[in-house]
Amino acid sequence: MKAWKHFKTITRHKWQVMKGCFKVGLYKQGLFHDMSKYGLTEFLVGVKYYQGNRSPNNAEREAIGYSSAWLHHKGRNKHHYEYWIDYSTKDITGGMAPAPMPHKYVVEMLMDRIAACKIYNGETYTQKDPLNYYLKGKEKAPIHEETKALLEKFLYMLAEEGEEATFSYIRKNILNKKA
């Protein structure tokens, strides 16, 4: 039963991201978003730690101290800022350095955050939820400054002006796609 519920949750999430991506002209990204979640490495962990009201990756972290599914996922999905972290050649200690994300992946990251909030918040979802969720973890996130500025621009625009205005702005001004 948990397998079916997890499958439905990730599919509903994927559908929400796909709808958002299609609205801004990112058809390929909409179609292929989060396909790694259906592979055994991520899917079996999702089933084991499924709760329905939050990411199973957080439950796995609490249980074993890290998330094997997340480590797999972030390395295969370019819409996560963690995918864009590299070693710094400027720091003699070999510190980590975030790289700027291409705009199309920042947009997909926005769609991912919107979809996650819609799925987990359900009927109580508001257009401010993705911003509020982001602000909770902002200080810890090693995101490149350009990427952070663009993501925050989108999140604040979404909170203040809604999806239609934000998606239109992205399509016309960021991705330069016709309506």
Residue 102 DSSP symbol: P
- Count the Cβ atoms, other than its own, within 10 Å of residue 175: 13
Q: For position 91, what pLDDT does the model report?
A: 65
Q: For position 39, what pLDDT does the model report?
A: 98
Contacts 24+ apart (CB under 8 A), 121-130: 127/158, 127/159, 127/162, 127/163, 128/159, 130/155, 130/158, 130/159
Mean pLDDT, consecutive 10-residue stretches, the chain (179 aa), reads 96 98 98 98 97 92 97 97 88 78 98 96 97 86 93 98 98 85
β-pair partners for 98? 85
What is the C-alpha R_g of the chain?
A: 16
55 CA to centre of own chain: 12
Q: For position 92, what pLDDT does the model report?
A: 59
Q: For position 87, what pLDDT does the model report?
A: 84
Q: Which of 104, 84, 102, 121 is nearest to 26 (CA)?
A: 104
Contact, 95 vs 52, CB < 8 A? no
Q: What b/e sequence results for 98-121 when a residue is b if at least 16 CB atoms lie within 10 Å of its CB, and e otherwise? A: beebeebbbbbbbbbbbbbbbbbe
What tokens appear for 52 in the block? 């329905």
